[in-house]
């Protein structure tokens, strides 16, 4: 699928802000086989005093912008053309839940894709016994990890209510889970914490969804803003799979990946230190439109 | 033979009567046969020349030195910080120079090994690939900073200043208890402890062949300055701020080394380079000796919640624009679990075993290790694997195997089974003992040493000394300073005479020079407010004293003068219901806080003086001073105490930018408070006695008597307190002072708007000089006060933001 992606994110402050320094995670990733990006442009207003970029540890493109003059709002907009391919999936076997600890103790690398980064506690994730029991009630002890991912994702989707008014960007996953309410960030954090609680390495993916569904399909939840889903490591053979608990589906060509991290804190679209006590309000607009192509086959996941 | 010798033998006997080392535990003073070890002999015979009374007197010299230098131990209980006297153990720990050389050599090897591990963890990660370190452990550590993986420190090294905590095991060999690589503290304490101890034993120390510490600090300073890429850039010490437990030490060492002490918010990163905000604009900073843990250093890329960091610092490091000592991320080396793997890593990387072993440690993330720990639980301390605290600083997260009862054992085993990856077991060790003076005799106490080293152009340089922690019980394996142990000096004693050149005098010619003359905006602001608060406190005190004197004398509290005075006090926020108004107390506390933030710029005497003021205030508050005469007397005492401090400030401070800000603060505050008070006391409807009050408030009664006689009149009081340029308490005097201090600031600082500000001062002064005493009335004074307030606002905006 070929898409035109438009993404803009704006902050408005209650008063003048003297300076600002932000890290932006907005560039879609180039992923071999799965996703290729062309013609991307990021505009920032007001004009920043400094602008630079680097790749972070997990390989995400990070832009750094510095505002040195007083401003009351700022906006970052990205346009890009992104092609999503259906990853050919031969019948790979996912590891068994019981064998996971042994597999993991044998892993001897800390490269960005290493499952070792995606276990245990990270700034926004705290594995716990409640979630461990929750998963164990769903699947047998020797379930395949891919089955665990699907079963858990489906269950969360059934039990949770998508409710943007129930949580904020700072809500703890324990609270969102107790209320069984939240948005994609909460769904994802709960699922990551649950997977890690049973020893499955799991991380956070930020990205965007196709805005309008293909004819005859329902609109995906979370398409109007930046989206988030989960990646889980299912053993050395199958490797990483991506699952969207908000929509209860494995990720295919309707999702565009922007950044990978351990949790939201690694990939938040705008990070920044603001010298302002006056509060701030953010707004987002996302548009992911298929490019008309006669030869295009709409392959859906 | 002679009587003195016999007397000395008797004191020696008395001295050691209670000195009974624990069997099987090595003792520093006595060998296994109970003989005094050679290295201690001179010292002990010096001790035995003094009876307990004399020794007590000598010890008090050391205590007095520390007290007067403002060395305290800051402790945190619940949410409150308290300071208590520095717990000096008066008897130093003596170590033979030859043994020290061995220790130093092995610790250098260890420092090199740690450097290699850091280079690998932030580089190729070969240790993990080879299975020498479990990847899980590293990936779980909050101190392994992913954004710095692949970033080589600018100078090439992760470690430039490290410390080790070591102790002597049962077989007499030394052990490393713990590596300090994050932001080692204590070098300044070592220095202060040395000064105190050398005062105690002044007669002996001079010829005792004890290695001096100054050479080490001179090397350290040179090493830091040589890390600069430009002579014009600053080397700064980055502090977590005055609330840090070791802030005193940081400010002390900043003063001793002559380096800038900055907080995160003093720094700014622009175009990827680090600058310090000073009153004369941004100045480049090239080297930071950080006393701040990595995670706090940059809220943008590290801990988002940090309020004491500098946004963009990691970016500056990534671009190789600043050297940070030790490199950000070096704290990973302090993880307890690393001790379990270092022996193997040493063989792998250095091709030989550790020359000085570390305390035996097992990571419970591996089945065999887990079993070992469980099977020997009673000899183990169990604690968090990734913690960087040493096990001997026990907290609620440490389990002592030997103290577990039945159910506890089961719990510990279950914990190790389920959360092994997060736990380590460490063998409990006994420490060697060393003499401490308790009661009137020497007793053996457990001891560990902290050793410091700095990387120089010629390799690691070890401080010949350090400090020793001395436990409180003979049989203790817990040595925590917070838990009540004390600190002793460490003497490295040589056979041969030692180089006794003191301080930084040696090699002065070749020593690089630090860039001078930067006053960080925040320090300027603190100095300015220190002066203002002190001046304000003085005004409050005078006013309060005047009121309580009148109260004591007056027939009725309803006398017109008292009513007028009470109304004025209320108007400026001075509560008249209590003897010591909260506003006065608050102002003195604020002054103390401001002083604390610029402690590196105050003399020890100045620091002592303001603390005495604060102590006196505490006393007064605790004693419920009665209104009237009692309160007036108390105000008199506080007034003299605060004058002692302001006098020291005025007299001792080098007449440079710092002093100008103090001076500006004092003049501005005085102009505002005096004009306000005069507006009230010179008012047309002011009751009889108000003019005397005005003179008293302006501390000008005696001058008035000399110049005008006893009877004050409105013109005479107005002339003396407002227009008399020879009266250091008059408005015109301070207007001139203001202009005089502003001149060089405006000239040299060239900050935006400073020219206009100077113009405003000049205009105000010229207009004021044209006045006659009759013009000085309430209306004029109120307008005048507003103009001064506007100048004060501009000053803050231009120089201190």
- Nearest-CB residue to A110 (from B128, B130, B312): B128
Domain boundary among the residues B653, B672, B695 is at: B653
Higher pLDDT among residues A20 and B118, named by residue = B118
The CATH-assigned architecture of domain A2-85+268-290 is: Sandwich (2.60)
- The ipTM (two decimal places) reads 0.92
Judged by CB atoms closer than 8 Å, whether chains meet at A117 and B270 is answered as no
- Nearest-CB residue to A116 (from B139, B312, B422): B139
Nearest CA in chain A to B148: A57
Comparing CA positions, the residue from A230, A240, A241 lying closest to residue A263 is A230
User: What per-residue confidence (pLDDT) applies to B14?
Assistant: 83
Judged by CB atoms closer than 8 Å, whether chains meet at B147 and A108 is answered as no
Higher pLDDT among residues A296 and A139, named by residue = A139
Task: Let me know whether B799 and B664 are in one domain.
Answer: yes
What are the extents of the domains in chain A? 2-85+268-290, 97-265
pLDDT at B1 over 60: no
pLDDT at B395 over 70: no
Judged by CB atoms closer than 8 Å, whether chains meet at B136 and A105 is answered as yes
Q: Mind listing the pLDDT tens digit for each residue in B306-359?
A: 889 999 999 999 999 999 999 999 999 999 999 999 999 999 999 999 999 999
Q: Mind listing the pLDDT tens digit for each residue in A103-125?
A: 999 999 999 999 999 999 999 99
User: What per-residue confidence (pLDDT) applies to B420?
Assistant: 86
Q: Indicate whether B338 belongs to any domain.
A: no
User: What per-residue confidence (pLDDT) applies to B85?
Assistant: 81
pLDDT at B680 over 80: yes
Task: Let me know whether B659 and B706 are in one domain.
Answer: yes
Q: In this complex, is the C-beta atom of B417 within 8 Å of any C-beta atom belonging to chain A? A: no
Chain A residues near residue B139 by CB distance under 8 angstroms = 110, 114, 116-117, 119
Q: What is the mean pLDDT of chain B?
A: 89
Q: Indicate whether B506 belongs to any domain.
A: no
pLDDT band at residue A294, thresholds of 50, 70 and 90?
Answer: very low
User: What per-residue confidence (pLDDT) applies to B507?
Assistant: 47
Q: In this complex, is the C-beta atom of B271 within 8 Å of any C-beta atom belonging to chain A? A: yes
**Closest Cα of chain A to B139: distance in Å?**
5
Cβ partners under 8 Å of residue B762, min gap 6: B739
The residues in B 284-303 lying below 8 A from A, measured between CB atoms, are: 299-301
Judged by CB atoms closer than 8 Å, whether chains meet at A56 and B147 is answered as yes
Can you give the residue range of the structural domain that contains B564? 521-653
Task: Let me know whether B544 and B401 are in one domain.
Answer: no
Q: In this complex, is the C-beta atom of B558 within 8 Å of any C-beta atom belonging to chain A? A: no
Task: Answer for the pair B274, B310: CB distance below 8 angstroms, yes or no.
Answer: yes
State how many domains chain B has. Answer: 3
- Nearest-CB residue to A57 (from B131, B149, B365): B149
Task: Answer for the pair B326, B333: CB distance below 8 angstroms, yes or no.
Answer: no
Q: Mind listing the pLDDT tens digit for each residue in B7-58?
A: 777 778 888 888 999 888 899 999 999 999 999 999 999 999 998 899 999 9
Chain B residues near residue A110 by CB distance under 8 angstroms = 125, 128, 135, 138-139, 149
**Closest Cα of chain B to A264: distance in Å?**
12
User: What per-residue confidence (pLDDT) applies to B748?
Assistant: 66
Q: What is the mean pLDDT of residues A158-174?
A: 93
Task: Let me know whether B622 and B698 are in one domain.
Answer: no
- The predicted model scores a pTM of 0.87
Judged by CB atoms closer than 8 Å, whether chains meet at B135 and A265 is answered as no
A vs B, Cβ pairs < 8 A, gives: 66
Report how far residue B756's alpha carbon sits from residue B747's, in angstroms, rounded to the nearest whole number. 12
Q: Indicate whether B162 belongs to any domain.
A: no
- The CB-side HSE value for B19 (13 A sphere, CA atoms) comes to 24
Task: Let me know whether B686 and B642 are in one domain.
Answer: no
- Nearest-CB residue to A271 (from B131, B136, B300): B300
Q: Mind listing the pLDDT tens digit for each residue in B649-660?
A: 877 777 678 888
Task: Let me know whether B559 and B610 are in one domain.
Answer: yes
Which secondary structure element, helix H or strand E, spans residue B469, and what is its range? strand B467-470
- Nearest-CB residue to A57 (from B138, B147, B269): B147
Domain boundary among the residues B606, B621, B653 is at: B653
pLDDT at B505 over 70: no
User: What per-residue confidence (pLDDT) applies to B158?
Assistant: 98
Q: Mind listing the pLDDT tens digit for each residue in A221-280?
A: 777 789 999 999 999 999 999 999 999 999 989 999 999 999 999 999 999 856 554 556
Report how far residue B445's alpha carbon sits from residue B19's, in angstroms, rounded to the nearest whole number. 10
pLDDT at B481 over 50: no
Domain boundary among the residues B626, B653, B680 is at: B653
C-alpha distances in angstroms, B706 versus A289, B542, B700?
92, 21, 10
Task: Let me know whether B367 and B409 are in one domain.
Answer: yes
Report how far residue B655's alpha carbon sits from residue A221's, in angstroms, rounded to the nearest whole number. 69
Nearest CA in chain A to B120: A110
Q: Mind listing the pLDDT tens digit for each residue in B689-698?
A: 999 999 999 9
Task: Let me know whether B649 and B679 are in one domain.
Answer: no
Chain B residues near residue A64 by CB distance under 8 angstroms = 312, 315
Judged by CB atoms closer than 8 Å, whether chains meet at A110 and B135 is answered as yes
- Nearest-CB residue to A108 (from B135, B147, B301): B135
pLDDT band at residue B795, thresholds of 50, 70 and 90?
Answer: confident
Task: Let me know whether B668 and B598 are in one domain.
Answer: no
Task: Let me know whether B795 and B743 are in one domain.
Answer: yes
Task: Let me know whether B659 and B797 are in one domain.
Answer: yes
Poorest-pLDDT segment among B161-175, B489-503, B758-772: B489-503
Q: In this complex, is the C-beta atom of B226 within 8 Å of any C-beta atom belonging to chain A? A: no
Poorest-pLDDT segment among A195-199, B287-291, B337-341, B411-415: B411-415
- Nearest-CB residue to B299 (from A58, A119, A273): A273
Q: Mind listing the pLDDT tens digit for each residue in B65-116?
A: 988 877 877 766 555 567 778 899 999 999 999 999 999 999 999 999 999 9
The CATH-assigned architecture of domain A97-265 is: Roll (3.10)
pLDDT at A300 over 50: no
Fold matches, A2-85+268-290 and A97-265: no
pLDDT at B532 over 60: yes
User: What per-residue confidence (pLDDT) applies to B239?
Assistant: 95
Residue with the two structure tokens 């970029």: A53
User: What per-residue confidence (pLDDT) applies to B72?
Assistant: 76
Q: What is the mean pLDDT of residues A54-58?
A: 96
Q: Mind listing the pLDDT tens digit for each residue in B217-253?
A: 999 999 999 999 998 999 999 999 888 888 888 988 9
Task: Let me know whether B555 and B645 are in one domain.
Answer: yes
Q: Indicate whether B508 belongs to any domain.
A: no
pLDDT at B284 over 80: yes
Judged by CB atoms closer than 8 Å, whether chains meet at A109 and B128 is answered as yes
User: What per-residue confidence (pLDDT) applies to A299?
Assistant: 42
**Closest Cα of chain B to A284: distance in Å?**
22
pLDDT band at residue A180, thresholds of 50, 70 and 90?
Answer: very high
**Closest Cα of chain B to A6: distance in Å?**
26
Q: Indicate whether B465 belongs to any domain.
A: no
Judged by CB atoms closer than 8 Å, whether chains meet at A21 and B312 is answered as yes
Report how far residue A70's alpha carbon sits from residue B644's, in angstroms, rounded to the nearest whole number. 45
Chain B residues near residue A117 by CB distance under 8 angstroms = 139, 146
- Nearest-CB residue to B135 (from A57, A58, A114): A114
Q: Indicate whether B683 belongs to any domain.
A: yes
Residue B290's SS3 state is: strand
């Amino acid at each position: 699928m070929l898409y035109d992606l438009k993404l803009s994110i704006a902050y408005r402050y209650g008063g003048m802000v003297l300076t600002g320094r932000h890290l932006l995670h907005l560039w879609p990733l180039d992923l071999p086989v799965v996703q290729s990006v062309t013609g991307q442009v990021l505009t920032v207003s007001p004009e920043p005093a400094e602008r630079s970029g680097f790749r972070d540890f997990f390989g995400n493109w990070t832009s750094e912008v510095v505002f040195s003059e007083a401003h009351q709002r700022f906006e970052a907009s990205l346009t890009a053309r992104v092609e999503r391919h259906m990853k050919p999936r031969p019948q790979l076997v996912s590891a068994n839940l019981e064998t996971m600890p042994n597999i993991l103790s044998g892993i001897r690398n800390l490269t960005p894709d290493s499952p070792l980064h995606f276990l245990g506690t990270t700034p926004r994730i705290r594995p716990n016994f409640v979630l461990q029991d929750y998963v164990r009630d769903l699947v047998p002890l020797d379930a395949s990890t891919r089955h665990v991912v699907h079963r858990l994702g489906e269950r969360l989707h059934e039990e949770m209510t998508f409710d943007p008014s129930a949580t904020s960007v700072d809500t703890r996953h324990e609270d969102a889970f107790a209320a069984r309410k939240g948005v994609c960030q909460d769904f994802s954090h709960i699922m990551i914490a649950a997977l890690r609680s049973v020893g499955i390495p799991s991380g956070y993916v930020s990205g965007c969804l196709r805005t309008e569904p293909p004819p005859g399909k329902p609109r995906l939840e979370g398409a109007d803003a930046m989206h988030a889903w989960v990646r889980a490591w299912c053993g050395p053979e199958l490797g990483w799979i991506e699952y969207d608990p908000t929509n209860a589906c494995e990720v295919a060509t309707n999702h565009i990946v922007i950044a990978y991290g351990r949790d939201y804190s690694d990939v938040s679209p705008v990070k920044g230190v603001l010298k302002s006590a006056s509060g701030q309000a953010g707004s987002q607009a996302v548009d992911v439109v298929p490019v008309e192509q006669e030869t295009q086959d709409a392959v859906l996941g | 033979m002679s009587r003195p010798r016999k007397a000395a033998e008797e004191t020696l006997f008395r001295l050691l009567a209670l000195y009974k080392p624990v069997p099987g535990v090595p003792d520093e003073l006595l060998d296994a046969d109970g003989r005094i070890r050679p290295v201690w002999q001179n010292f002990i015979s010096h001790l035995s020349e003094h009876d307990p009374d004399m020794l007590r007197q000598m010890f008090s010299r050391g205590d007095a030195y520390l007290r007067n230098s403002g060395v305290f131990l800051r402790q945190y209980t619940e949410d409150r910080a308290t300071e208590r006297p520095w717990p000096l153990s008066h008897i130093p720990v003596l170590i033979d120079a030859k043994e020290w050389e061995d220790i130093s050599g092995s610790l250098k090897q260890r420092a090199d090994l740690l450097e290699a591990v850091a280079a690998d963890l932030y580089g190729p990660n070969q240790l993990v690939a080879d299975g020498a370190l479990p990847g899980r452990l590293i990936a779980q550590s909050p101190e392994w900073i992913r954004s710095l993986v692949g970033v080589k420190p600018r100078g090439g090294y992760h470690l430039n200043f490290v410390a080790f905590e070591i102790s002597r095991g049962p077989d007499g060999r030394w052990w490393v208890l713990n590596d300090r690589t994050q932001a080692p503290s204590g070098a300044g304490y070592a220095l202060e402890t040395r000064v105190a101890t050398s005062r105690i034993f002044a007669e002996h120390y001079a010829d005792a062949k004890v290695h001096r510490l100054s050479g080490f600090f001179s090397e350290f300073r040179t090493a830091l300055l040589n890390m600069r890429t430009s002579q014009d850039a600053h080397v700064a010490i980055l502090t977590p701020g005055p609330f840090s437990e070791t802030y005193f030490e940081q400010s002390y060492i900043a003063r001793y080394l002559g380096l800038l002490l900055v907080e995160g918010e003093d720094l700014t990163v622009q175009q990827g380079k680090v600058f310090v905000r000073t009153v004369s604009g941004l100045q480049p900073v090239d080297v930071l000796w950080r006393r701040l843990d990595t995670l706090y250093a940059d809220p943008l890329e590290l801990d988002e919640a940090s309020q004491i960091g500098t946004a963009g610092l990691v970016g500056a490091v990534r671009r190789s624009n600043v050297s940070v000592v030790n490199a950000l991320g070096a704290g990973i080396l302090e993880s307890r679990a690393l001790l379990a793997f270092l022996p193997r890593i040493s063989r792998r990387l250095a091709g030989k075993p550790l020359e000085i072993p570390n305390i035996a440690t097992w990571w419970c993330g591996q089945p065999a290790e887990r079993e070992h720990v469980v099977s020997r639980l009673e000899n183990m301390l169990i604690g968090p694997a990734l913690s960087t605290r040493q096990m001997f600083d026990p907290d609620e997260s440490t389990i002592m195997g030997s103290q577990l009862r039945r159910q506890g054992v089961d719990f510990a085993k279950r914990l190790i089974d389920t959360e092994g990856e997060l736990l380590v077991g460490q063998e409990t060790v006994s420490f060697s003992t060393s003499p401490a003076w308790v009661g009137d005799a020497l007793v053996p106490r457990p001891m560990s040493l902290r050793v410091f080293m700095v990387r120089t152009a010629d390799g690691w340089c070890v401080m010949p000394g350090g400090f020793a922690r001395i436990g409180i019980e003979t049989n203790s394996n817990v040595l925590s300073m917070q838990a009540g142990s004390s600190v002793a000096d460490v003497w490295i004693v040589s056979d041969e005479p030692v180089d006794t050149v003191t301080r930084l005098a040696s090699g002065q010619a070749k020593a690089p020079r630090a860039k001078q003359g930067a006053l960080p905006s925040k320090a300027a602001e603190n100095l300015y407010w220190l002066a203002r608060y002190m001046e304000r406190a003085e005004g409050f005190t005078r006013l309060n004293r005047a009121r309580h004197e009148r109260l004591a004398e007056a027939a009725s509290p309803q006398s017109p003068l008292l009513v007028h005075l009470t109304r004025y006090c209320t108007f400026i926020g001075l509560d008249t219901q209590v003897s010591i108004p909260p506003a006065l107390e608050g102002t003195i506390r604020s002054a103390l806080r401001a002083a604390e933030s610029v402690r590196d710029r105050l003399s020890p005497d100045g620091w002592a003086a303001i603390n005495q003021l604060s102590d006196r205030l505490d006393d007064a508050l605790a004693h419920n001073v009665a209104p009237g005469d009692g309160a007036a007397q108390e105000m008199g005492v506080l007034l003299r105490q605060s004058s002692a401090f302001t006098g020291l400030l005025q007299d001792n401070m080098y007449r440079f930018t710092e002093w100008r800000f103090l001076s500006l603060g004092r003049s501005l505050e005085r102009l505002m408070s005096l004009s306000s008070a005069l507006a009230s006391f010179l008012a047309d409807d002011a009751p009889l006695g108000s003019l005397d009050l005005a003179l008293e408030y302006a501390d000008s009664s005696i001058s008035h008597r000399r110049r005008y006689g006893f009877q004050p009149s409105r013109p005479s009081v107005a002339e003396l307190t407002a227009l008399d340029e020879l009266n250091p308490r008059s408005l015109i005097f301070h207007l001139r002072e203001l202009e005089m201090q502003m001149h060089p600031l405006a000239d040299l600082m060239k900050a935006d708007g400073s020219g206009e500000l100077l113009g405003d001062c000049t205009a105000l002064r010229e207009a004021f000089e044209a006045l006659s005493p009759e013009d000085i009335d309430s209306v004029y004074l109120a307008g005048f006060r507003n103009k001064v307030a506007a100048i004060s606002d501009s000053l803050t905006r231009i120089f201190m933001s």
